[in-house]
Amino acid sequence: ETGVTQSPTHLIKTRGQQVTLRCSSQSGHNTVSWYQQALGQGPQFIFQYYREEENGRGNFPPRFSGLQFPNYSSELNVNALELDDSALYLCASSFRDRGYGYTFGSGTRLTVV
């Protein structure tokens, strides 16, 4: 079975711009979560999508938004980028009804300058 793939692997954006990060779930998984990991910190939960709807959100402003598609892939969109948005963004997929079997992708390293 394929794992979780994220694209792009690295990205540099300018403050105020918008960015879209993409995630393909592991085969058979129907739930996607996104995490932000600042340098030297543990991952922080942004939100989760299940059946194409947001199903839980962490302490992040509305300029962080997402989508989940019928094939369970997902996008994370960030508007009006700020310098503090520079981080590793991790996507994790799971099959909700089987408990917490999360599989993480390798992440997208976003640098805002």
Partner 1 sequence: GNSVTQMEGPVTLSEEAFLTINCTYTATGYPSLFWYVQYPGEGLQLLLKATKADDKGSNKGFEATYRKETTSFHLEKGSVQVSDSAVYFCALPAGGTSYGKLTFGQGTILTVHP
Does the bond joining 62 to the residue before it have cis omega, within 30 degrees of 0? no
The verdict on 21 binding partner 1 (CB under 8 A) reads no
Give the tokens for residue 87. Answer: 């981080």
Buried residues in 58-76 as b, exposed as e (16+ CB within 10 A): eebeeebbbebeeebbbbb
Sequence letter at residue 55? N
Candidate list 1, 14, 42, 97; residue touching partner 1; CB under 8 A: 42
Shortest distance, position 54 Cβ to partner 1, whole Å? 11
Candidate list 56, 80, 98, 111; residue touching partner 1; CB under 8 A: 56
Binding window for partner 1 (CB under 8 A); candidates: 11-19, 45-53, 66-74, 76-84: 45-53
Candidate list 24, 25, 26, 33; residue touching partner 1; CB under 8 A: 33
